[in-house]
Amino acid sequence: MDLNALAQHFSIPGILSFSQTEHGLRRASISSPACSAEIYLQGAHLTQWQPKGAKPVFFLSERSQFESGKAIRGGVPIIFPWFGNRTPTALSQRSDGPSHGFARTEEWTLAFAALAGDEVHLTLTLDPSETSRSLGYDQFQLVYQLSLGAELRLRLTVRNLSSEPLWFEDALHTYFAVGDAREIAIHGLAGTRYLDKTDHFKVKVQDEPVLRLTGRTDRPYLDTVAAVDLEDPLYARRIHVEKSGSRTTVVWNPWAASAAQLPDLTPEGWLQMACVETANVAADAITLAPGEQHTTEARILVRSDAIRQPC
């Protein structure tokens, strides 16, 4: 649909509107009694969600490239069908394709929009394209459902429409806005195994009861369904993330040296962000039988009255 058709079919007066960037990316903007938000059809990329009276929940880089075919740095990129660089699997020996897959730079279709109480409900879909077919993914469908209000619910469903098994990794790659990454505390992962990607993918266990970031951090925590709290004393809030259909939680911050290598991140951007991702990667990757589907879901709440004192 072009911009006029989107507006005609899905606009909600005073609540949901549509616009287009100078580079032609279409986006939906939400301003409801409960929250404000913004989502781009490219990548079904949620770049903003801000409950009324709260600070912005997601980090968005000032250097994000809002151009066709280029990933946006920040918000909630959708990672599918592989996480990081593509590597051979039992079902395919291919190793080609962009980092984090193709879903975050493909154009999605807005299929549904409605207001229920103070919540805005959106559904976007992604079907096979020339790009996905060239990478060996030609019989699938992604359905992304968002409920945006005082809390945020994200549901990514993968359907296997093939007569063969479908292997994939996925992630809701949430970039949370923080006052200072060096001051936050992440609760909920104590005693959990993780892959330390900063140390040759060694398998380690988090012995500390609370994770505090002290340097470059890139950890897929495996076989965990636990809820996670990101405690931010400078913003005087706790971001609570519950999940289902996910057995991996990824924690990532590039820190100063690695951030300097990212052209779409300002030198100080790493201080203002912390990624806590709802995912299924590595040993937790999903294989769907023909006709099956899988849903990965995250529920995000902001609590300003539940700040613990620093340890």
Of 45, 231, 277, 294, the catalytic one is 277
pLDDT digits (tens, 9 = 90+) for 200-225: 999 999 999 999 999 999 999 999 99
Q: In whole angstroms, what is the distance from residue 191 CA to residue 207 CA? A: 6
Q: In whole angstroms, what is the distance from residue 203 CA to residue 199 CA? A: 9
Active site residue 169: no
Q: Which CATH class is domain 3-303?
A: mainly beta
Least confident segment among 108-117, 256-265, 301-310: 301-310
Average pLDDT across the chain, whole number: 96
Q: Whole-prediction pTM value?
A: 0.96
Q: What single letter denotes the amino acid at residue 210?
A: V
Q: In whole angstroms, what is the distance from residue 120 CA to residue 293 CA? A: 25
pLDDT confidence of residue 305: 64
pLDDT digits (tens, 9 = 90+) for 244-285: 999 999 999 999 999 999 999 999 999 999 999 999 999 999
Q: Give the list of residues 6+ apart from residue 210 with CB closer than 8 angstroms, or none.
A: 185, 186, 187, 190, 311
Of 100, 173, 240, 294, the catalytic one is 173
220 bridge partner residues: 250
Active site residue 45: no
Q: What single letter denotes the amino acid at residue 234?
A: L
CB 223 within 8 A of CB 191: no
pLDDT confidence of residue 309: 43
Q: Which of 282, 287, 279, 260 is nearest to 271 (CA)?
A: 260
Q: Tell me 23's DSSP state.
A: T
Boundaries of every domain in the chain: 3-303
Burial 146-176 (b: 16+ CB within 10 A, else e): bebbbbbbbbbbbbbeeeeebbbbbbbbbbb
